[in-house]
Amino acid sequence: MNIFCVGRNYANHAKELGNALPQQPVLFSKPSRAFVETNGQAISVPQHLGQVHYEIEVVLKIDREVKQGESVWDVVSQIALGLDLTLREVQKELQTKGHPWLRAKGFKHSAIVTPFWDIREQEAYNTEFSLLKNGNLAQKGQIKDMIFNLQTIIDECENCFGLGEGDIIFTGTPEGVGPLHSGDLYQLYWGKEEKGRFTVE
C-alpha cells in the first residue's frame, strides 16, 4: 500500500496557515507504517515533539492499476475518512530550511483512517464530512469545495507515481485544523453517520 496526500487543497485552509493558493496539486507521501484504522481505540502520537495537528480528509482507495486518463469513478469504488496528522512546529522548521516534510508528516499513526465503505459519485459530491473534538464541531467540508477535484488528483498521482490496487490518497483538509491533546475524543462523520472514533493516548 502506498499513501499519497494532497496539501493545501481547500482555499480557506491554505489561508489559515498563511500559504499561497497552489497552481498545481501539492503532493507528498507517508510510509505504510503511518497507517492505522480506527476502531474506538486509544492512539498514541508523538506530542513530545511539539503540537500534533489534526486534519480531516476524504480518503480514496484505488481498486486496481490505473491507466492514464481513466475516470476516477472507474478506479475508485470505496472511500473513507482520515486524519492527516502533522507535527506543525517541525513542519514549519522544515519549510524554513527548504527540506521535505517527511519528518512532520510521516511518523507512526500519522494516517488515521476509518473503515472504507462503498460510494457512488452523486453521494460523494453532495455529502458533508466533519470532525468532532470532544463532542464539539472542529472541521467540516465537502469534496466539491476542493481547489483540485478528484479527477485532477487521480491524474496527477498516476502521472507522477503510478497508482495500483490498495493505494490510498488523502485529498486535502478544510479549515479548522488544530492540536490534539491526551484524552481527546475524535469522531469522524460522513453526513450524519459516524464512521470512526478514537481517543488520544
Strand order in the sheet with 178-179: 86-87, 52-54, 178-179
Q: What is the pLDDT of residue 177?
A: 95
The 3-state DSSP class for residue 11 equals helix
Domains annotated for the chain, with CATH where assigned, are 3-200 (3.90.850.10)
Concatenate the DSSP letters of all residues of 25-44 into one string: -EEEEE-GGGEEE-SS-EE-
**180 contact partners, CB below 8 Å, separation of at least 6:** 45, 47, 52, 53, 54, 85, 186, 200
pLDDT tens string 110-132? 999 999 999 999 999 999 999 99
pLDDT tens string 39-61? 999 999 999 999 999 999 999 99
Quick one: which of 166, 170, 115, 162 has its CA closest to 146? 170
Q: What is the pLDDT of residue 15?
A: 72
Q: Give me the percent of the chain exceeding a pLDDT of 90.
A: 92
Q: What is the pLDDT of residue 141?
A: 97
Quick one: which of 120, 40, 129, 117 has its CA closest to 80? 117
pLDDT at 14 over 70: no
End-to-end Cα distance, the chain: 26
pLDDT tens string 84-116? 999 999 999 998 999 999 999 999 999 999 999
